[in-house]
Amino acid sequence: MTKALIALEDGTVFEGVSFGASGERLGEVVFNTSMSGYQEVITDPSYKGQIVTMTYPLIGNYGINKKDIESSGPKIEGFVVKEKSRIASNWRSEKGLDQYLKENDIIGVEGIDTRSLTLHIRTKGAMKGVISTIDLNPKSLINKAKDSPGLIGRDLVREVTCKKAYKAEAIFGARDRQQETRKKIIAMDFGIKYNILRCLSDAGCDVTVVPATTKAKDILSKKPDGVFLSNGPGDPSAVTYAIEEIKKLIGRKPIFGICLGHQLLGLAFGGKTFKLKFGHRGANHPVKDLRTGKIEITSQNHGFCVDPGSLNKNEIILTHINLNDNTLEGMAHKKLPVFSVQYHPESSPGPHDSRYLFKRFMESMK
């Protein structure tokens, strides 16, 4: 076993034991409260630039399999757990967590008090940090954390978006289809999760995924029935090129946005975004639909939020709020078929309460 340290920019240091790869990584230290789904977390592009702490104490007990990945591979900077399971027991398991992280050069740390780390972040806020197995000097690591770039003002979308356009079917194969009723969708890839593509396809969409830098004129030239704005990492205000193109798409085609796509749409509407203290990351966040009064238990992963007070109330209606802190979770244009949510209705893993949103997107294109 190799000693590992996690140092935060405020001078707090945690000591544990490494697994997976060795070395040193910088990132924003955050926590996720999900009890399962560690593989989806590890491969979610929205975690690019972050060292993720799982609050559930035992991680790795059902192993890793090819079908549950959310992208081409791990995107996190580091992975912190209380205890890594020594046994992977599941009929779908193909390899253990330790082996998977090692193969993908991701540093894992176990044996630290994850409750203490989580409480510290909840109190002080998510902060810059460093995880290391090679530099075990606390003072040195703290300075490295302080000097690291952080996420504010940083465009991480360019690091996770696809290099060229592709059909969603290339990821999971063809779905059951009725050609006469299916809709042609262009999905702007800011760090899209594979299960979003599955849900869009299952709802009746033929999806073409395009890079985040794709121009609006090129999207419109493909004559899609609708445009989807995906999730992704980093500060939405730094993705200026996408915001400008989304402005050109509003009013031209039905639009549906999730997570970062929601934030970028808010900025395209003329609103503002701000950074949350420690973000929303987990599979049990209560959200209220303001139009129906129904409560959805949702899966979430974001550190930034749209400021509802910055939106034009004559054009935009607030549709969903987070019941934990009353932050904005959904919005829609009053006249145009354009809407978005901050949370993840594709629920991978998590509750299925919000799957209706994909059907709503289909309805908006009729």
* Strand residues in the chain grouped as ranges (E): 2-8, 13-20, 24-32, 50-54, 58-59, 78-80, 83-84, 107-110, 127-132, 166-167, 183-189, 205-211, 226-229, 255-258, 273-289, 295-306, 316-322, 328-333, 338-341
Q: Is 280 a catalytic residue?
A: no
Q: Is 259 a catalytic residue?
A: yes
Residue 124 Rama label (left phi>0; alpha psi -120 to 50; beta): alpha
CA quadruple 101, 105, 109, 114: dihedral positive or negative? negative
Q: Strand 255-258 and strand 226-229: pairing? A: parallel
The residue annotated as part of the active site, out of 199, 259, 285, 305, is 259
Main-chain dihedrals φ then ψ at residue 139, nearest 5 degrees = -65, -40
Closest CA to 153 of 37, 274, 261, 243: 274
Q: Is 344 a catalytic residue?
A: yes
| 97, two tokens | 């967590």
Measured distance CA(299)–CA(97) in Å, rounded = 22
The residue annotated as part of the active site, out of 262, 285, 320, 344, is 344
Amino acid at 96: G
The residue annotated as part of the active site, out of 40, 110, 245, 346, is 346
Q: Catalytic residue numbers?
A: 259, 344, 346
